[in-house]
């Protein structure tokens, strides 16, 4: 066997090993997470965990109600999506199709740099700047609300959505765009009838990555949402303090005795968060396959 073939085989084995290790790590993570989470239901009914409206882990009797945490995460994430997706896709279209090369060379790296800012910095900015502004502008008792968390998560998701969407739009062959223009289409008609539909697979991936960033964020929402474990109303819940699943785990895990019911309840919350993220990834994969089929 020649040296070139040996090198290719070695690279192939290394890539296979990396894939196997990644799958194995994910499997071990699932076992670790679900093993401790399921132990809660030996003493606490799973129906009560999923349907109770109170999260009082230190009360007597205890209440491990997931509902306020789940709805808090849902309202903050939904608000972030509404804020970030249209703005992110519009910015990606501008950078890729409208901006001059000099402007695009500045905007694209700037968006990518914003993605590397630590979440605690975003949280500090939200706590010092956005929270007082929201409180004054809307005349609220506190600015630490679901709306504040949604805006901050939307800002944090923007760099991912912009960067991935811009890559998808830029990858559309120029011949397709030039053909549309040659047939008499305007630039805007070419963008929304040809370019964007052709890049929908990549754009949907960008949106799902942004949603994943919003769902899994901890530090920022912990600092700006008020951390009140109550059932949020709609739409009034946007202007009230809420608590997300991620913030609950971060706030309480360091203080609970290992092996206690409270400890296992936090693992159960983490299991629900894992399942939610897994469902988002399945939806993203389905959307990508669907639009790729039409192309």
Split at pLDDT 50, 70, 90, the class of 2 is low
What is the Cα–Cα distance from 55 to 224, expressed in whole angstroms? 20
What is the Cα–Cα distance from 96 to 42, expressed in whole angstroms? 55
Residue 21 reports pLDDT greater than 90: yes
Residue 291 reports pLDDT greater than 70: no
CB 39 within 8 A of CB 264: yes
Q: Measured at the alpha carbon of residue 231, what is the angle toward residues 242 and 87, in degrees to the nearest 5?
A: 50
Residue 29 reports pLDDT greater than 90: no
Q: What is the average pLDDT across 50-63?
A: 85
Q: Find tokens 């290719």 and name the residue.
A: 8
CA atoms within 13 A on the CB side of 151: 18
Which of the pair, 2 or 155, is modelled with greater confidence? 155
pLDDT digits (tens, 9 = 90+) for 266-275: 999 999 988 8
What is the value of pTM for the model shown? 0.84
The pLDDT assigned to 293 comes to: 41
pLDDT digits (tens, 9 = 90+) for 147-156: 999 999 999 8
The pLDDT assigned to 214 comes to: 81
The pLDDT assigned to 233 comes to: 76
Q: Find tokens 């120029």 and name the residue.
A: 174
The rounded mean pLDDT for the chain is 85
Q: What is the average pLDDT across 45-52?
A: 88
Q: What is the average pLDDT across 218-227?
A: 88
Split at pLDDT 50, 70, 90, the class of 1 is low
CB 199 within 8 A of CB 165: yes
Split at pLDDT 50, 70, 90, the class of 294 is very low
pLDDT digits (tens, 9 = 90+) for 125-148: 999 999 999 999 888 888 899 999
- Structure token pair of residue 151: 């805006």
Q: What is the average pLDDT across 222-233?
A: 85
- Structure token pair of residue 285: 């994969």
The pLDDT assigned to 196 comes to: 83
């Amino acid at each position: 066997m020649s040296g070139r073939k040996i090198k290719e085989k070695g690279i192939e084995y290394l890539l296979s090993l990396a894939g196997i290790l990644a799958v194995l790590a994910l499997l071990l993570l699932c076992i670790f997470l679900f093993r401790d989470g399921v132990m809660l239901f030996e003493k606490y009914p799973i129906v009560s965990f999923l349907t109770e409206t109170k999260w009082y882990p230190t009360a007597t009797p205890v209440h491990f109600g997931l509902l306020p945490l789940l709805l808090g995460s849902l309202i903050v994430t939904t608000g972030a999506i509404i804020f970030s997706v249209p703005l992110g896709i519009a910015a990606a279209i501008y950078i890729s199709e409208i901006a001059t090369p000099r402007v695009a060379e500045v905007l694209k790296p700037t968006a990518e740099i914003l993605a590397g800012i630590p979440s605690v910095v975003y949280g500090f900015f939200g706590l010092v700047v956005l929270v007082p502004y929201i409180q004054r502008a809307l005349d609220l008792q506190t600015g630490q609300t679901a709306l504040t968390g949604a805006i901050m998560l939307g800002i944090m998701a923007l760099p991912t959505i912009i960067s991935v969407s811009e890559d998808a739009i830029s990858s559309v062959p120029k011949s397709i765009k030039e053909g549309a223009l040659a047939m008499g289409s305007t630039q805007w008609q070419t963008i929304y009838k040809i370019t964007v539909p052709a890049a929908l697979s990549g754009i949907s991936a960008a949106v799902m990555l942004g949603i994943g960033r919003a769902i899994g964020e901890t530090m920022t929402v912990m600092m700006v949402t008020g951390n009140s474990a109550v059932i949020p109303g709609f739409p009034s819940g946007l202007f009230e303090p809420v608590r997300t699943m991620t913030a609950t785990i971060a706030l309480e895990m360091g203080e609970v005795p290992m092996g206690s019911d409270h400890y296992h309840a936090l693992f159960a919350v983490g299991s629900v968060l894992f399942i939610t993220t897994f469902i988002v990834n399945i939806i993203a994969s389905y959307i990508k396959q669907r639009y790729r089929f039409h192309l």
